Amino acid sequence: MVLPKVWGATLLASLAAAQTYPPDVVDELAKASLPKLEEWLAKNPQEGCTLETAVRRKEWSDLTVEQRKEYTDAVLCLQSKPALTSDLAPGAKSRFDDYVVIHILQTPRNHGSTFFLPWHRYYIWHYENALREECGYKGYQPYWNWDRYAKDPVNSPLFDGSEGSMGGNGAKEEHNGIPIPGAPPPYNMIPPGDGGGCVTTGPFKNMSVNVGPLAPTLNVERNPQRDGLGYNPRCLRRDVNKNAAAVTTANYTYDLITNNHEVYWFQTVMEGQFPQGKWGVHAGGHYTVSGDPAGDFYVSPGDPVFWLHHAMIDRVWWIWQIQDLETRLTQVSHTKTMNNFPPSANGTLDDLSGLGVLAEDVTVRELMSTMGGLGGKFCYIYE
């Protein structure tokens, strides 16, 4: 492989030194693709954003325990600050809840639609920015490389319940499994794992889930409002599940990136083809955590692991884009409504996407590139 100049050799050396897991085929593809990004930037320089200045988002286990704790402390800080969306949602009690409320309100627009990938890119960046600006976090949004932990997620650095984790599994509680709406048997039910109850270990053992549920996968108390936005305090529940994790191994992600050359199929395969019994890595990651609220399609950002999962979704899109930047930085597909219900026009780069009361609407075009997008505010890559 031909390395880009000095920055490239330095970056690859730091990647090799930092990893505690051997690189998988997706990691190798990402590294091998960096010269393509450098070549594109040479032709399309971005003011104030270069490969030398770009933020490096790192995988969870490549952070030190101290760095992981700094991240979870910042999330807890966000959960302690008053909500901005309480007028919209009586159940919102914190800045963390604000992001859950926006996801609930915008789910029908931002899934199975043109906006799925660019909107979530904006959403994650804004959350990362809130952790830094409002809670003094010095790092950047980590991601969850699904493959590293797929064989035994409950004992991984992500879920082992230590102070350097994102919290443990839920206590053992009998249930019938996790239903997958729209999938045929036997793909419509994930067998139960060894959790299902309240998380009792790690940084989020005392966390309160305040809004939802709307589409619960466990038997939890219904929200006092039909829209799920009422106050419904309860514990964080998980059923960390290796059956769901089995569809997130690196071979699935590699095939997703390399075998789908149009964004329509890339996004469709990623989100899942449930009638064909194919969950996709997007659903596979969500259902690896499962529980309440992680298994709830609308309320899933209420589990702090959501943000690492969707940072990985963004990373996979980033790697896919790098394979053909001239084309893929302008490729959008699908219509403007979830699964085209109700029927709507095809989306375009000029359509607006925003975060409600949290952030202004911007064009989809502004959200396509991690190097100079959003008026130069996006300037990051994934290590």
> What pLDDT does 201 receive?
98
Which tokens sit at 173? Answer: 């509680």
| Distance between start and end Cα atoms, the chain | 18
> What pLDDT does 14 receive?
42
Query: 361 pLDDT exceeds 90?
Result: yes
Q: Is residue 246 part of a domain?
A: yes
Burial of 275 by CB count in 10 Å (0-12 exposed, 13-18 middle, 19+ buried)?
Answer: exposed
Q: Is residue 19 part of a domain?
A: yes
Q: Is residue 85 part of a domain?
A: yes
| Residue listed under structure tokens 């709406």 | 181
Q: Over the stretch 260-293, which tens digit does the pLDDT of each residue have?
A: 999 999 999 999 998 988 989 999 999 999 999 9
Place 187 in a pLDDT band, splitting at 50, 70 and 90: confident
58 pairs with which residues across the strands? none
The CATH number of the domain holding residue 231 is 1.10.1280.10
What average pLDDT does the segment 55-63 reach? 98
Query: 205 pLDDT exceeds 50?
Result: yes
- In this structure, how many other beta carbons lie within 10 angstroms of the beta carbon of residue 68? 23
Query: 319 pLDDT exceeds 90?
Result: yes
Place 297 in a pLDDT band, splitting at 50, 70 and 90: very high
Closest CA to 76 of 169, 207, 189: 207
Q: Is residue 1 part of a domain?
A: no
Q: Is residue 91 part of a domain?
A: yes
Supply angle C-alpha 380, 364, 248, rounded to 5. Answer: 60
What average pLDDT does the segment 157-180 reach? 95
> What pLDDT does 7 receive?
43
Q: What are phi and psi of 371, to 5 degrees?
A: -110, 85
What average pLDDT does the segment 142-170 reach? 98
Alpha-carbon distance 140 to 235, whole Å? 27
CA dihedral sign, ordered 280, 281, 282, 287: positive
3-state class percentages of the chain: helix first, strand second, coil last, to nearest 5:
45, 10, 45
Closest CA to 203 of 80, 84, 309: 80
Number of domains the chain contains:
1
Query: 83 pLDDT exceeds 80?
Result: yes
Q: Over the stretch 228-237, which tens digit does the pLDDT of each residue have?
A: 999 999 999 9
> What pLDDT does 10 receive?
44
Alpha-carbon distance 374 to 368, whole Å? 9
Q: In the chain, which ranges are E strands?
A: 55-57, 170-172, 178-179, 189-190, 196-199, 208-209, 234-235, 352-353, 362-363, 380-382
Share of the chain above pLDDT 90, in %: 89
Query: 225 pLDDT exceeds 60?
Result: yes
- What global pTM score does this model have? 0.94
Closest CA to 78 of 161, 156, 141: 141
Q: Over the stretch 1-29, which tens digit does the pLDDT of each residue have?
A: 333 443 444 444 444 434 479 999 999 99
Share of the chain above pLDDT 70, in %: 95
Mapping DSSP to helix (H, G, I), strand (E, B) and coil, where does residue 46 land? strand
Cis bond upstream, residue 179 (ω within 30)? no
Burial of 251 by CB count in 10 Å (0-12 exposed, 13-18 middle, 19+ buried)?
Answer: exposed
Alpha-carbon distance 173 to 316, whole Å? 34
Question: Residue 379 gets which letter from DSSP?
Answer: B
Q: Over the stretch 101-128, which tens digit does the pLDDT of each residue have?
A: 999 999 999 999 999 999 999 999 999 9
Q: What are phi and psi of 171, to 5 degrees?
A: -60, 155
371 pairs with which residues across the strands? 379
Query: 332 pLDDT exceeds 90?
Result: yes
Min mean pLDDT across 3-12, 82-91, 265-274, 319-328 is at 3-12
Burial of 189 by CB count in 10 Å (0-12 exposed, 13-18 middle, 19+ buried)?
Answer: middle
* Burial profile 320-335: b = 16 or more Cβ within 10 angstroms, e = fewer: bbbeebeebbebbbbb
Residue-range definition of the domain harbouring residue 113: 6-382
Query: 222 pLDDT exceeds 90?
Result: yes
For the chain, give the mean pLDDT. Answer: 94
